[in-house]
Amino acid sequence: MLPAIFGKAIAAEQLLSTFDVGIKKNLADAALAAAKQAGASYCDVRIGRYLRQFVVTREDKVQNVVNSESTGIGVRVIANGAWGFAATNDLTAAGAARAAKQAAAIAKANSKAQTAPVQLAPAPGVGEVSWKTPIIKNAMEVPVKEKAGLLLAANAAAINAGANFVNSTLFAVNEQKYFASTDGSYIDQDVHRIWLPFNVTAIDKASGKFRSRSELSSPMGMGYEYLDADPSQKFVSPNGVVNYGRSYDLHEDIIAAAKQARDKLKAPSVKPGKYDLVLDPSHTWLTIHESVGHPTELDRVLGYEANYAGTSFATVDKRDAHFRYGSQHVNIVADKIQPGSLGAVGYDDEGVKTKKWDLIKDGILVDYQAIRDQAHIIGKKESDGCCYADSWSSVQFQRMANVSLQPGKQKLGVASMIKDVKNGIYIVGDGSFSIDQQRYNAQFGGQLFYEIKNGQITRQIEDVAYQIRTPEFWNACVGVCDESDYRLGGSFFDGKGQPGQVSAVSHGSSTARFNGINVISTARSLG
């Protein structure tokens, strides 16, 4: 049985089929007409076909192959000044009309308890347009046998390199999304994403101790061309760790992971104290996500969204007071158009054309992430185009854009950044984290840790976690490497809302340095 969000199981060949645009427009027009007839002052219709494929392996076995489809219609309306939403998988004009009428009835019921009418920022109709992720090779076209072979070969290489256990997965997503509204938009989009997560574990059989490392690649808004390894897209750190940009060599990464997991077994625990931290983009993306991405979502700022450690310390009065969120080196943008990123689309799920905008400029908090019914609250004239629903059956709401730390403007490589660090730690890869309700106090781990002494990486260490107060941490940033080191990290599964939804989001940065950060040891005695 598949989780409801994944829909029904289908044959792999069906992953290549499409839903005729003319049929989608007819369904949308039926819903729009029915909504108007039912008294709606506004209506939007989303017709979505969500296709997913998982190829799951462990050691020398294929554990599962999943091909799934979820298709249906979501209708959102404003009637009597209130929102209403309904959805159906009845892909007929009558079914679309019934959903629209139901949404209008729900809106009218909601209006009885609503104290102020919904105010929508303008989103001029764009007519009939389309947008596609600029892929070279559709991952769905690649035979399952080839994908399984890639994963099993990688697993074997990891075992040969010293891993005791290994699992790997290829995960491909295609969202075929159609949006129509009473504003006059008919938008057809074809969105593709790909991810190759793995985990290798090495065991010291004498002590029973074990250590693991997962992939250093990022999920990407790309096609299967992501696996066409390109040496120019590799980033070799001063400690010899290879990270990846817009091209990924699974075989190389998984062999390195096996060796590094075995090295972790011998690495000493960190000595707690204050350190200068040099953070690789494969690590920093998660810190950005939790300490900047979420606290600048306007619904959290306003207290409307308190799930998944919701709300925010970065309240509107701080923006108005030119609050110093970080040092002058900290420039952070929200971005829904960055090529290769998970969040890149032409239009959001309210039909708003996407863009890039500043959140933190020269360390100062300057803006938030807002959608159409929020914009007026902080005096904005338009939505930022960051509304999203994870399914046709889910109502769209404010979701995080790609939020990224911009590269430094001066030429600066990682080796140059490290050379004057007297007592520091170089951190690679994401790990466990903990953060409070307002995104103010947090703790972050990682995957690989290297001691820095007098400008030199000396040895691998373990059990590192650093503690932050968000503004103190970002104000401790003393440098960011230049654009030649810039890379994306991200997640397919950013959770938010109740009922919960997930979204895919990327976060970019170059390697960055933070001075005087408190580090603790996560080692636990078993004695």
Query: Could you please report the per-residue DSSP string of 48-116?
Result: EEEEEEEEEEETTEEEEEEEEEEEEEEEEEEETTEEEEEEE---SHHHHHHHHHHHHHHHHHHHTT-SS
Measure the CA–CA gap between 113 and 400, rounded to whole angstroms.
29
User: Residue 69 above 50 pLDDT?
Assistant: yes
- Domain ends where: 176, 194, 212? 194
In a domain, 115, yes or no: yes
In this predicted structure, the answer to whether residue 421 has a pLDDT above a threshold of 90 is yes
Q: Does a structural domain hold residue 316?
A: yes
347 is a domain residue: yes
CATH of the domain at 117: 3.30.2290.10
Cβ–Cβ under 8 Å, residues 344 and 338: yes
Quote the CA–CA distance of 63 and 60 in Å, as a whole number: 9
Same domain for 52 and 112, yes or no, is: yes
pLDDT tens digits, 89-109? 999 999 999 999 999 999 999
One domain, residues 256 and 378: no
Predicted local distance difference test score (pLDDT) of residue 526:
40
* Residue 73 domain-assigned (yes or no): yes
Strand partners, 220: 194
pLDDT tens sequence across 459-491: 999 999 999 999 999 999 999 999 999 999 999
Higher model confidence: residue 2 or residue 29? 29
The per-residue pLDDT for range 22-52, each reduced to its tens digit, is 999 999 999 999 999 999 999 999 999 999 9
CA 221, CA 503: separation in Å to the nearest integer? Answer: 13
Assigned domain for 392 exists: yes
Are 379 and 370 spatial neighbours (Cβ–Cβ below 8 Å)? no
User: Do 211 and 352 reside in the same domain of the chain?
Assistant: no
Q: Are both 412 and 515 inside the same structural domain?
A: yes
pLDDT digits (tens, 9 = 90+) for 108-120: 999 999 999 999 9
Are both 448 and 335 inside the same structural domain?
Answer: yes
Domain final residue pick, 231, 250, 266? 266
Could you give the number of structural domains in the chain? 3
% residues pLDDT > 70 (the chain)? 98
Question: Percent of the chain, pLDDT > 90?
Answer: 93
pLDDT (mean) for 438-448: 97
Same domain, 101 and 215: no
Same-domain check for residues 186 and 222? no
In a domain, residue 158? The reply is: no
Domain hosting 97: range is 4-138+168-194
Pair 284, 509: CB distance under 8 Å: yes
Q: Are residues 406 and 458 in the same domain?
A: yes
Residues 172 and 211 in one domain: no
> Do both 91 and 215 map to the same domain?
no
Residues 317 and 207 in one domain: no
Q: What is the mean pLDDT of residues 273-288?
A: 98
pLDDT band at 148 (very low <50, low <70, confident <90, very high): very high
Query: What number is the average pLDDT over the span 304-310?
Result: 82
| Helix and strand element counts for the chain (H, E) | 9, 28
**Which residues on adjacent β-strands are paired with residue 435?**
442
| Tokens describing residue 290 | 């939790």
Q: What is the pLDDT of residue 6?
A: 72
pLDDT-derived band at 1 (thresholds 50, 70, 90) equals very low
281 and 258 share one domain: no
- What average pLDDT score do residues 352-363 get? 98
Directed axis angle between helix 144-160 and helix 250-266, to 10°?
30
Q: Is residue 464 part of a domain?
A: yes
Of 231, 266, 301, the domain-final residue: 266
4: pLDDT strictly greater than 60: no
Whose tokens are 């009597």? That residue is 80
For the chain, give the mean pLDDT.
96
- Distance, in Å, from the CA atom of 382 to the CA atom of 99, rounded to the nearest integer, reads 28
Q: What does the pLDDT average to over 443-463?
A: 97
Identify the three-state secondary structure at position 507: strand
Note whether residue 302 is domain-resident: yes
